[in-house]
A and B are shown apart, each in its own frame.
Chain A
């Protein structure tokens, strides 16, 4: 006799989202596509499997062994379609968007699943403020939200913690966390950015976007990721995040277009990865070649579609809006 399943009730074969929610997902996707069609933004597809991947210290790519001619023996599931889409922009695509799957190892919880649906779009000729205007319109259209409120990163830290995040000392950040009941087991974050991110996630984020969406922009230069820097006092990264009802929904940049600056950031990431004992990852030379050829001045943003659907349906857990979360996949 073959070894059958334990029992049909024990095996979670059913979707964790209701069929009604899955219908709402289809409606949401149609509505998003309608939004971009009306604005003449082109839908594109790029490969989920990539020869190179993100160097960011805090993003963990999944890799896949491969056995086909011409390709690498090991490829990466994209953590976002950013690099491939920038290559399309450099090739002259004009405004583009994509709805696709992205994969991030180590991320699971009530608002994370290691495989999730991402909406990413790029607008040549826009800076981060012009893109925030468009996001505002999108949120009004799909969530029925009120017009968004905008604050700088410095302002939200000032408002919620009485801290100037650009100048505060490490000791002060540590004290601020302790005062808000955040007890760390083991060593705390190693640097100021780690503490700022802890306070942002645990104290500020839950209070953002209440009643109406909140855009936070002009991040510390040390948290630029792929955004361009604006010199000044303090220097800031032209990066923003979107929060609705305490949920982080999107991250966007006025995109860095300078190939040599991009290469420096990749290499700095790799040096940090080595210092932390993380796997080396290949730098995306094709992206750098595309930047070298010329990326149009543009802004881009990545949106969590599953979280958007959580807000649309009022779901508290990501499991309630995806058909099969990772433990049922």
Chain B
């Protein structure tokens, strides 16, 4: 034992020193490092969980958004359809209205044209009869009395008008 250098006082010194070293290191090194490692592990765990949650939330909101977009699209489609129907209806109505209006206007125009024509014819007849009378009186003065004259003239004018009408 002595040749190897093992002696009791040396052994006890080294053992006691080592135990003191152990106690100090446990307090100074191992305790704090262990603590910070644990808090870090906890923090990482927490942030991982948080990330998971955020991811889930993101998926959920994306799904929600998709659904809302679908609804909006359907509504839009419906609105467009309705608008188209309404426009079609309106168009139809308008067409009906304008045709009837124009028909009416045409009718009115026709009527007024007829009226104008009748008036023109009457005035023409008046002019013609007086013209013819005056002309004829100049040709056959006094041979024919006024009354007979008028009858013949009227007949002639009527013939003429009939021709015109035709």
- Chains A and B bind each other: no
Interface residues of B (CB under 8 A from A): none
